[in-house]
């Protein structure tokens, strides 16, 4: 029912990608999402290439379904990870934090599908020209590093501007968001925050519970002044960061304050000093459940809703 160019291209059952989240998206989470019919993605973050090689190996022990690796282009190990992905036969690469331009030729030669995250129309148009296979259009509602435009406005503008298929990200947490994204012209969705609150995510329970408890305005942006804004749940760390920003602290000072904070939240469960990266959708997440259920609930809601709309149309015809 939800067959699109994305399901055909990636050879997956449902057009649902799990965001490649640094520290969060380990082989356990990615394998669970792929097994459930979506596309699981290992988040390489700033990890060295050998760590990612090991993650790929462990994922392959858990599933034989397609999966991807997310490469943060600002990582000092980005080039080595491109090499590992090509050697290991990884079918899909998503990229964050910039343009993957210089790696496109090599990835294509190894038959790897390239799907960058884009925050603007101009970057989507440029990357289409450079030969990427699809783009992930991420709105400012998302967790982690963000752009300025909303999913609602950006997705249809990019749908109109390019011919390659589009995956919508940012603010999608259930079947309603999934259907809304498809209505905007997306042929798939990428979901991050909802999967942080999955049973399989190797994320400290304190972090997961903080998302479950979060209300509508709790996911806040820091770092606007640095040019690298990040959305995370409000806590002692975000307050300190904003205070420094308001006092015109130097970039070095802010970078120092921010470094290692996501790991502190994910691994140590420090919900005061860690960065609890999360999207605005946190206010919608009320439980921690297996990936199979997260995906199953999204798909069954969407199917029922479409059935309902179809029946209404039929009913109208009868009158």
Q: Is residue 277 near ligand FMN by the rule CB under 6 A?
A: yes
Q: Is residue 40 near ligand FMN by the rule CB under 6 A?
A: no
Q: Is residue 188 near ligand FMN by the rule CB under 6 A?
A: no
For the stretch 285-312, what's the b/e string if a residue is b when 16 or more beta carbons lie within 10 angstroms of its beta carbon?
beebbebbebbeebbebbeeeeeeeeee
> Given the complex with ligand FMN, which of 159 and 294 has the nearer CB atom?
294
Q: Which of residues 197-256 bind ligand FMN (CB under 6 A)?
A: none
**Of positions 91, 100, 192, 223, contacts ligand FMN by CB under 6 A:** 192
- Helices 251-258 and 236-246 cross at an angle (nearest 10°) of 180
Q: How far is CA 265 from the centre of its chain?
A: 18
Q: Is residue 7 near ligand FMN by the rule CB under 6 A?
A: no
Q: Is residue 141 near ligand FMN by the rule CB under 6 A?
A: yes
Q: Is residue 191 near ligand FMN by the rule CB under 6 A?
A: yes
**Cβ 303 to ligand FMN, closest distance in Å?**
21
Compute the Cα dihedral for 190, 278, 96, 161 and give only its sign. Answer: positive
How does DSSP assign 287-303, residue by residue?
--B-HHHHHHHHHHHHH
> Are the C-beta atoms of 281 and 171 separated by less than 8 Å?
yes
**Could you tell me how many helices (H) and strands (E) the chain has, helices first?**
14, 11
CA angle 206, 209, 211 (to 5 degrees): 115
- Print the binding letters for residues 142-161 with ligand FMN: x by CB under 6 A, - otherwise: xxx-----------------
Pick from 54, 105, 115, 62: which is nearest to 81 by CA? Answer: 54
**Cβ 3 to ligand FMN, closest distance in Å?**
23
> Given the complex with ligand FMN, which of 97 and 244 has the nearer CB atom?
97
**Cβ 164 to ligand FMN, closest distance in Å?**
18
Q: Is residue 172 near ligand FMN by the rule CB under 6 A?
A: yes
> Given the complex with ligand FMN, which of 91 and 171 has the nearer CB atom?
171
Q: Is residue 72 near ligand FMN by the rule CB under 6 A?
A: yes
**Of positions 70, 222, 235, 238, contacts ligand FMN by CB under 6 A:** 70
Alpha-helical (H) ranges within 163-285 are: 175-183, 193-196, 205-213, 236-246, 251-258, 261-263
> Are the C-beta atoms of 113 and 92 separated by less than 8 Å?
yes
**Cβ 74 to ligand FMN, closest distance in Å?**
10
Q: Using the structure block, give the residue that is written with the tokens 């998206």.
A: 25
> Given the complex with ligand FMN, which of 91 and 279 has the nearer CB atom?
279
Q: Which two tokens stand for residue 73?
A: 């282009």
**Of positions 171, 188, 223, 274, contacts ligand FMN by CB under 6 A:** 171
Binding residues (CB under 6 A) for ligand FMN: these are 19-22, 24, 43, 45, 70, 72, 96, 117, 138, 141-144, 169-172, 190-194, 196, 277-279, 281
């Amino acid at each position: 029912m939800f067959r699109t160019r994305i399901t055909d291209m990636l050879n997956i059952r449902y057009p649902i990608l799990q965001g490649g989240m640094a520290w969060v998206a380990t082989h356990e989470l990615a394998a669970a999402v792929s097994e459930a019919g979506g596309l699981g993605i290992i988040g390489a973050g700033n990890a060295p290439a050998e760590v990612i090689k090991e993650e790929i190996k462990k994922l392959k022990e858990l599933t034989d379904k397609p999966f991807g690796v997310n490469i943060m282009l600002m990582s000092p190990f980005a080039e080595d990870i491109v090499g590992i992905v090509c050697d290991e036969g990884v079918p899909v690469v998503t990229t964050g934090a910039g343009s993957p331009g210089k790696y496109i030729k090599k990835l294509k030669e190894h038959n790897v599908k390239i799907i960058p995250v884009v925050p603007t129309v101009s970057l989507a148009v440029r990357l289409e020209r450079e030969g990427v296979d699809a783009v992930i259009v991420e709105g400012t509602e998302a967790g982690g590093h963000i752009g300025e435009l909303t999913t609602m406005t950006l997705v249809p503008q990019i749908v109109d501007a390019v011919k390659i298929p589009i995956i919508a990200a940012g603010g999608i947490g259930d079947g309603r968001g999934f259907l809304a994204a498809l209505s905007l012209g997306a042929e798939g969705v990428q979901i991050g925050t909802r999967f942080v609150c999955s049973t399989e995510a190797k994320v400290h329970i304190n972090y997961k519970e903080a998302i479950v408890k979060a209300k509508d305005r709790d996911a806040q942006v820091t770092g606007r002044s640095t040019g690298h804004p990040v959305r995370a749940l409000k806590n002692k760390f975000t307050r300190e960061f904003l205070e420094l920003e308001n006092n015109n602290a130097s970039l070095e000072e802010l970078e120092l304050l921010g470094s290692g904070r996501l790991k502190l939240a994910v691994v140590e469960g420090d919900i005061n000093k860690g960065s609890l990266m999360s999207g605005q959708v946190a206010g919608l997440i009320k439980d921690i459940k297996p990936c199979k259920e997260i995906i199953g609930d999204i798909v069954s809601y969407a199917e029922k809703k479409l059935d309902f709309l179809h029946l209404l149309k039929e009913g109208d015809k009868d009158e």
